Structure 1
Amino acid sequence: MTEPLLHGFFRSGASYRLRIALALKGIAYRQASYSLRDGEQRSSAFLALNPQGLVPALEIDGAVLTQSLAIIEYLDETRDGPKLLPADPVLRAKVRAAAQIIACDTHPIQNLKVLGWVRGLGQDEAGVNAWGARVIGEGFAALDAFIAPYAGRFCFGDDVTLADVCLVPQLVNARRFGMTDIPQRLLAIEAACLSLPAFEAARPENQPDAV
């Protein structure tokens, strides 16, 4: 069977999420890299795979899947390994909601496209970084409060879930914007995650396209 092909970029937070999930599931895969700053994700060849022109995309099981959370849920439904969504319906909905605080309401409004718009409104780099830090800070505050009743070693008890998979890449982005005031609970969860080989293997600096 041909190994899945991950179309991504080492610095892409959404690609990072998917790399973590693939590693947790023990799925070997190949990588194709697209420099986001150079706009390679908008090439005609890539747009034929994903009309949104966004990474990641994953070629697997004869299909091209897009959107990191949708891909991760597909892997959770079709592959062995640790379950990233709990069996209990209420807790599963809570985990999805926590993941979406990051993936839907925080990360998209501090990505390259939006930062380009912020620059276009006349903000210098200090203003752009302040925008990113504020957006992420508000997301982290909401996430920290949301998971407080459930957190253990990880966001939801002592098992890794989709929420942790989304949190760790966002912490990388936070530091890129110069954030230092990060909730201690989130930092402790990050440390627990990074002690696991799957999270270590997925780190941006450990990717073949890292520069």
Structure 2
Amino acid sequence: MTDAALVARVRAEVAAGIDPAGLLAVYADPSRRVLLRERVRVAARGNANDADLDAICAELFGFGPLQPLLDDPLVTDVLVNGPREIFVEREGRLERTAVAFHGPEEVADLAHRIAASVGRELTLERPFVDARMRDGSRANAVIAPVGGPTLSIRKFARISVPIAGRAPSWTAAGLHPDAGALLEACVRAGLTIVVSGATGSGKSTLLRSLAGAIPADERL
């Protein structure tokens, strides 16, 4: 059986019963991903190894060839300039990857699925979408005639570090412990704090850390 035929069979037996608009959200849930993978394994009837199962699951339910990049905890951004021009930002550095789509149609299909997952639609009249995924990640998709198809995905960062004290991560990021203590004091005093910065500079991480300094008896 060809790979295409195998994927088609799994699609018919497993994916057909799932709302296409909810596929990405379903696959993003770790427990549901395990269940989907087991259903795919059964549908494959022994014709797929572990790597094949991962690839089929990613194609039918996830972000296709981008899924391993999004699963990498060190990757913060994935940028698709074309089917074979895919970059990631890893630990603050932009690098080109060897990952590739089969063609622009596959990129466009993923763009449409991303839009559908947030109740939006990509059309000739509105060929672009900015979407906040259910896991907090942000995605931007563009299709013809504006350009593309292109994609950019910014993963939702779940990390939070103490704002005060001598936290190595903050020191490495350039925030002196004394500055952290000052910010914590400002939060506890109820002062207004403006957080601004370039894309990828760590605004959301800093905001979560500032929120962690809010006294427990304060109502949010």
Q: TM-score range by the shorter chain?
A: under 0.3
Higher percent of residues as strand: 2
Q: TM-score, normalised by structure 2?
A: 0.22
Q: TM-score, normalised by structure 1?
A: 0.23
Give 1 or 2 for the bigger CA radius of gyration.
2
Higher percent of residues as helix: 1
